[in-house]
Amino acid sequence: MSTARPADDLVAARPSPSALRAAVSLSERPARPSALSTTLTFAWRALLKIKHVPEQLFDVTLTPVIFTLMFTYLFGGAIAGDTSTYLDFLLPGIIVQTVLVVTVYTGFTLNTDITKGVFDRFRSLPIWRPAPIVGPLLGDAVRYTIASAVTLALGLALGYRPAGGALGTLAAIGLLLVFAFALSWVFTILGLLMRTPNAVMGVSMLVLMPLTFASNIFVDPATMPSVLRAFVDVNPVTHLVTAIRGLMGGTATFGDVLWVLVVSAVMTAVFAPITMRIYRTRS
């Protein structure tokens, strides 16, 4: 009769440490993921957030509808004499405002990840350092495109017809995405510095609201007081709206488009390194 106990059988069947090491060891070290693949992975992660929490799209679907209808039918007659004329002036500006407001959520979602401790894990991974920052910025471009498409579709339904045609409209959306990507670095910095997501949202809106409302989005700057007009004339959003309005209306000049591209490049060149320095030194 056997006197062996179940525990003794388990001890006898347990593999030796050398056998375990042999089982999990690899013949060669896995290749480190490239900067492109890592960045696209984080971009896909940003899109998966939308898939699992579709309520995040409310700001890019409902907000442009509300603003377009409200300004067109409440103020269009008073500002331009009739709603049709004002819609032709307003819609390119509303597209710009909608997309720029959405850029605020870049810093908000980044700060949310930080407060949950997710970014501590990202910083410990053997990956391209900027990927956790650049990837979500690229993913947010999808949100910007959706916001632009919703606003444009509503404008077309209300009677707006871009004189620049499909090519001019696509060029305008592309230029807007370039500027939005550059501006997103500013809110990414706020996402790294602020303590809570709500603080990021509050400070970001304080930065963005003067830039959007003190511009040529809603009215011609010629009707403004001289002091306010001086600010509007140097406001980068004003130049962006002028270029977008020109591309969609078929009247854009090379200088208008070049100005936006240069400013976008400068903002990225200035704020991207600052963002990465804060990211690397954040404790």
Number of domains forming the structure of the chain: 1
- Looking at the domain assignment, is residue 2 inside a domain? no
Q: Which of 105, 126, 121 is CA-nearest to residue 49?
A: 105
The pLDDT assigned to 90 comes to 92
The pLDDT assigned to 51 comes to 76
Q: Which of 87, 91, 36, 31 is CA-nearest to residue 64?
A: 91
The pLDDT assigned to 152 comes to 93
- Looking at the domain assignment, is residue 25 inside a domain? no
- Looking at the domain assignment, is residue 261 inside a domain? yes
The pLDDT assigned to 27 comes to 65
- Looking at the domain assignment, is residue 177 inside a domain? yes
The pLDDT assigned to 160 comes to 92
The pLDDT assigned to 126 comes to 82
- Looking at the domain assignment, is residue 116 inside a domain? yes
- Looking at the domain assignment, is residue 168 inside a domain? yes
The answer to whether the CB of 179 falls within 8 A of the CB of 263 is yes
- Looking at the domain assignment, is residue 239 inside a domain? yes
Q: Which residues of the chain fall below pLDDT 70?
A: 1-13, 23-30, 56, 283
The pLDDT assigned to 281 comes to 81
The pLDDT assigned to 32 comes to 77
Q: Which residue range forms the structural domain that includes residue 89?
A: 33-281
The pLDDT assigned to 130 comes to 86
The pLDDT assigned to 3 comes to 55
- Looking at the domain assignment, is residue 15 inside a domain? no
Residues 79, 95: Cα–Cα separation, whole Å? 19
The pLDDT assigned to 154 comes to 92
DSSP letter (8 states) at residue 116: T
